[in-house]
Amino acid sequence: MTLRIRHFGTALAIALSLATTVQAQDEPKTPLGKKMAAMNTAMKAVGRQIDDPSKNASTLEQIAIIETNAKASLTLEPEKKEKVPAAEQAKFVSDYQAGIKKLLVVVDKMKAAVKAGNNAEASKLLDEMKGNQREGHKEFRL
């Protein structure tokens, strides 16, 4: 009996430590990662309702979240910077900032399209935004 209780305790400890590990993997590791994760959640919400004009007020709120976090991302630097030779780091950071600014242009256009009730155009801009994400990650993410 004592043995069984001890085994149960061991199993519980293992289960808890696994659960903590899984959660830790999901959490953003860097301040920039946190901004990105917030953009990601908002972008998914936009994706679910971009074709529905009755949701445009809520879609605009989600776009505002993307905008705020993209602007905040401009003040942070990718962790990959440290892997780049010192002489190239300044260019790496300014290229990264240019990538975020490009995203912000698309965010602005999407906001205007939704305000104008042009959901078809906004949907195309969402694809463009995903393109910005792909390019940005290829170049600047570790």
SS3 118: coil
Q: In whole angstroms, what is the distance from residue 34 CA to residue 73 CA?
A: 9
Q: 117 phi and psi, to 5 degrees? A: 75, 20
Q: In whole angstroms, what is the distance from residue 30 CA to residue 35 CA?
A: 9
Q: Which stretch binds ligand HEM (CB under 6 A): 5-13, 54-62, 82-90, 130-138?
A: 130-138
Tell whether residue 126 is a contact of ligand HEM (CB under 6 A). Answer: no
Number of residues in contact with ligand HEM under rule CB under 6 A: 25
- Site string (12-41) toward ligand HEM, x via CB under 6 A: ----------------xxx-xx--xx-xx-
Taking each helix axis from N to C end, the angle separating 89-115 and 119-140, rounded to the nearest 10 degrees, works out to 170
Q: Between residues 7 and 101, which has the closer beta carbon with respect to ligand HEM?
A: 101
Tell whether residue 78 is a contact of ligand HEM (CB under 6 A). Answer: yes
Counting beta carbons within 10 angstroms of the beta carbon of residue 66, is it exposed (0 to 12), middle (13 to 18) or buried (19 or more)? buried
Q: Which residues bind ligand HEM (CB under 6 A)?
A: 28-30, 32-33, 36-37, 39-40, 43, 66, 78-80, 96, 99-100, 103, 129, 132-133, 136-137, 140-141
